[in-house]
Structure 1
Amino acid sequence: MLRKLLPPAGPSRGLAVAQLTNAIGDGAYYVCSVLYFTRIVGLTPTQVGLGLTVGWTLGTLASVPLGHLADRRGPRGVAVALAAATAIAVAAFALVRSFPAFLVVACIYTICQCGLVAARQALLAGVVDAAGRTKARAYMQSTANAGIAVGAVIGGVALQFDTESAYLIAFALDAATFLAAALVLRRLPRVPAVAKAGKGEPVLVVLRDRPYAVLTALNSVLMLYMPLLSVVLPLWVVGHTGAPRWMVSVLMVINTVAVVLFQVSVANRVHDLAGAVRIVRLSGLFLLAACVVFAFSSGNQAAWVAAVVLAAGAVLQVAGEMMLASGYWEISFGLAVEGKQGQYQGFFGSGIAVARTLGPLALTALVIDGGAVGWLVLGGLFLAAALATGPAVAWARRSRPVPSEQAV
């Protein structure tokens, strides 16, 4: 099974192994961290939420500068250093006993995590040829989901014991997996650093790239499926449908298993920017259809009927998710200025962070309060963003040299 999750031997496999390794630790951390900080350390849920919000906000702002650092110093070394720094930050959580200490460590942790994503993407662009980047990214996504699922089981064991020692073991595992990922990344080929910006040339070119900024914003809208899955659907299932509560877990399992099994196959359909635009348009239709189906799950239906409708919506949603990811991976790499992949991937990733940060509040107000109408509005928003991707890619192509065979 593991061999099927990993690409053939080479740099892509090293990147996938590194992703799988630290995803296992992350899965354990995500499951039990909040309860550790509230039940063991004694922080309030509000303090934990505030600390993480501040941390991820700073991490988002740091993505572009750290991505630029990866370009200038070489992405392999920067990725290794940030993976090791993340491990240290996770270990430091064990020393936290107050909110100020938690805030400091959380900020270091999130900044390192966001910078690591940018550096790792720049490393991928440097060690994998352009034709293979989307497929390599698909393997990384597939292995990440598998790793998080395994880690979640480990974290669940820590939750069951509900002791300080059990939680700290989960944290230690997370720190160890980041160190292991650093060792794996260190074995990848070295990517040369790019030259310093010339006189009169802006250092952070991506901040002046308006077409790329528009595409990042459109992707942020489409990435609202993330808080939809993790925040809105659980609230919807429990409060607005007759389905049993365990359907929340079933919907998560459907999503995780589908991405592990089929993400690479979906990505194989994308070979250039034109193909990326087509599959993003299709993803908008699937996400719209998923929202329509979810809207029909409410009401006084029998439990099994509501469960079937929710499962059908989850299948449509994950299909749209995989198409969207495959298309925008190709777009984010293909339209980045050569030699600037670090800062471009850092900027693109910041849009995803915005969706994760603002999405829960916005979608809760839209869907939970708005009901079926809210679902339809959200589906329309997904479709509109997907359809707008084509003109935005065409605009971006006109502003930079892209091979003519990739015309949209």
Structure 2
Amino acid sequence: MPNRSRVRVRALAAAQLANSVGDGAYYVTSALYFTRVVGLSPTQIGLALTVAWAVGAVAGVPLGAVADRRGPRGASVLLALGTAAAVLSFLVIRSYAAFLVAVVEYAVAQCGLAAARQALLAGLVDAGERTGVLARLQSTLNAGLAVGAGIGGLALQHDTPTGYLVVFALDGAGFVVCALLLLRLPAVAPAPVRTAKEPRLAVLRDRPYAAVTLLNAVLLLRMPLLSLAVPLWIVSHTAAPGWLVSALFVLNTLGVMAFQVRMARGVDGLSAATRTVRRSGVVMLASCAVFAASAAGGLGPWGAAAVLVVASVLQLVGEMQQSAGSWQLAFALAPAHQVGQYQGFFGTGVPLARTVGPLVLTALLVTWGVPGWLVLGAVFLAAGAALGPVARWAEGARPAPTAARPAAAVR
């Protein structure tokens, strides 16, 4: 990687770290703050977050299109500042209506920022290096979240309004620093002016890309798997000790930090991406089968714990493979002048999985038990295998090969 590219990647990583530390603290403290200090009910919070992320998912596409037309650096900076404003507003919010407005603003700004950042990365990093850079940014994200979670843990231990407010201030300040770091990057010129025949939001008419996005959303069911389904499975269906829930989360976080970059090496084209995703489906099937085996009678606490660790390691490998492959697919199948809106659309898979996943996974795994794990594994296997032919369909539907943004576009 040329020295100039290294400098840009370091700046992108620093911006990622700046906001992820605050986010890690926010994620572990926000629910308790809004229930204990503001006085909202868990039902109110859950409903507001569902509405917010649904609106954010829809807003990601037009905000990504704005980043394409106006330039992704400026859009990223403004959306980072918008996120900071939403977080800082939590310092003074004391009503449900104000909370709902703030979390909608937060979700919209976050979804738009994710799309604009991807467009900015596409303009600053050569096509062959993007997956590796995204792997590095993912490792940085996990490191920041881990540090932030530790800071949030201190606030939880003291359990005072002041401690929670410090966490929100830290998160808001992190997004301001993120905006300043992004502002120091080279500007990427806006996409060419849209022709009269070109739809404003072309991605909404791209059925092959929509199919790729949907299959990826199915694979993203792994996200609520670790945060919700596995903890419930451990305490309700196995003899493993309850503290293993935290240990497996730490294992996953540290594993991504240590190995995501290595796992992404060689994923530099469409064929490599579909192969990697297909393998992830196989590994996730194996992981689900081992998770199911942890409920076997006679294992005892330590035997069940050992089986769960093996299953979690397999899940970690499948997660990293799926991430690396999906990053490459998202870029390779997007027209070079519409990266923002296409990344915004592809990114809707995350809130979709987080919204639908808890209901599906609890019904399959907690209620149905062992057969549910095997069904889920078969779904992962089928989705991973189907992404190959669907991605080739999407590639064939392109009027011309997707090209990276020309170097002249960076100024």
Asked if 2 retains the 8 angstrom alpha-carbon contact of 1:242 and 1:306, the reply is yes
**Who is 2:401 aligned against?**
402
CA deviation profile, 1:15-68 (whole Å, cap 9, x unmatched): 111111111000000000000000000000000001111100100000000000
2:10 is matched with which residue: 4, 10, 13?
13
**Who is 2:31 aligned against?**
34
User: C-alpha displacement at 1:362, in angstroms?
Assistant: 1.0
Asked if 2 retains the 8 angstrom alpha-carbon contact of 1:242 and 1:299, the reply is no
Where in structure 2 are the equivalents of 1:155-304 lying within 5 Å?
155-300=152-297, 301-304=299-302
SS in 2 for 1:156: helix
Gaps in structure 2 of 5+ consecutive residues: 404-411
User: C-alpha displacement at 1:381, in angstroms?
Assistant: 0.1
**Who is 2:350 aligned against?**
352
**TM-score if structure 2 supplies the norm length?**
0.95
1:312 is matched with which residue: 302, 310, 313?
310
SS in 2 for 1:306: helix
Bigger Cα displacement from structure 2, 89-98 vs 28-37: 89-98
How many corresponding residue pairs?
398
SS in 2 for 1:145: helix
Asked if 1 retains the 8 angstrom alpha-carbon contact of 2:203 and 2:209, the reply is yes
CA RMSD of superposed structures (Å): 1.2
In structure 2, C-alpha distance between the alignment counterparts of 1:334 and 1:299, rounded to whole Å: 44
CA deviation profile, 1:89-137 (whole Å, cap 9, x unmatched): 1000111111111101110111001100000011000100101110111
Asked if 2 retains the 8 angstrom alpha-carbon contact of 1:29 and 1:170, the reply is yes
In structure 2, C-alpha distance between the alignment counterparts of 1:271 and 1:40, rounded to whole Å: 49
In structure 2, C-alpha distance between the alignment counterparts of 1:403 and 1:31, rounded to whole Å: 41
In structure 2, C-alpha distance between the alignment counterparts of 1:344 and 1:117, rounded to whole Å: 11
**Who is 1:3 aligned against?**
none
Where in structure 2 are the equivalents of 1:10-159 lying within 5 Å?
10-159=7-156
Residues 1:338 and 2:353 aligned together: no
Asked if 2 retains the 8 angstrom alpha-carbon contact of 1:15 and 1:140, the reply is yes
User: C-alpha displacement at 1:85, in angstroms?
Assistant: 0.9
User: C-alpha displacement at 1:403, in angstroms?
Assistant: 7.5
Asked if 1 retains the 8 angstrom alpha-carbon contact of 2:5 and 2:125, the reply is no
Identity level (%): 56
Amino acid at match of 1:252: F
Asked if 1 retains the 8 angstrom alpha-carbon contact of 2:72 and 2:120, the reply is yes
In structure 2, C-alpha distance between the alignment counterparts of 1:139 and 1:56, rounded to whole Å: 26
User: C-alpha displacement at 1:256, in angstroms?
Assistant: 0.5
Bigger Cα displacement from structure 2, 109-118 vs 190-199: 190-199
In structure 2, C-alpha distance between the alignment counterparts of 1:51 and 1:397, rounded to whole Å: 38
Amino acid at match of 1:52: L
**Who is 2:406 aligned against?**
none
CA deviation profile, 1:249-296 (whole Å, cap 9, x unmatched): 111011101100000001012121111111111100110000000001
**Who is 2:369 aligned against?**
371
Asked if 2 retains the 8 angstrom alpha-carbon contact of 1:240 and 1:299, the reply is no
SS in 1 for 2:90: helix
SS in 2 for 1:340: helix
Asked if 2 retains the 8 angstrom alpha-carbon contact of 1:288 and 1:382, the reply is yes
User: C-alpha displacement at 1:200, in angstroms?
Assistant: 2.2
Amino acid at match of 1:10: V
**Who is 1:393 aligned against?**
391
Q: 1:233 to 1:203 in 2, by over 3 A?
A: same
In structure 1, C-alpha distance between the alignment counterparts of 2:42 and 2:152, rounded to whole Å: 19
**Who is 2:408 aligned against?**
none
In structure 2, C-alpha distance between the alignment counterparts of 1:374 and 1:26, rounded to whole Å: 33
In structure 2, C-alpha distance between the alignment counterparts of 1:88 and 1:291, rounded to whole Å: 41
In structure 2, C-alpha distance between the alignment counterparts of 1:129 and 1:381, rounded to whole Å: 34
Q: 1:403 to 1:167 in 2, by over 3 A?
A: closer
User: C-alpha displacement at 1:8, in angstroms?
Assistant: 7.4
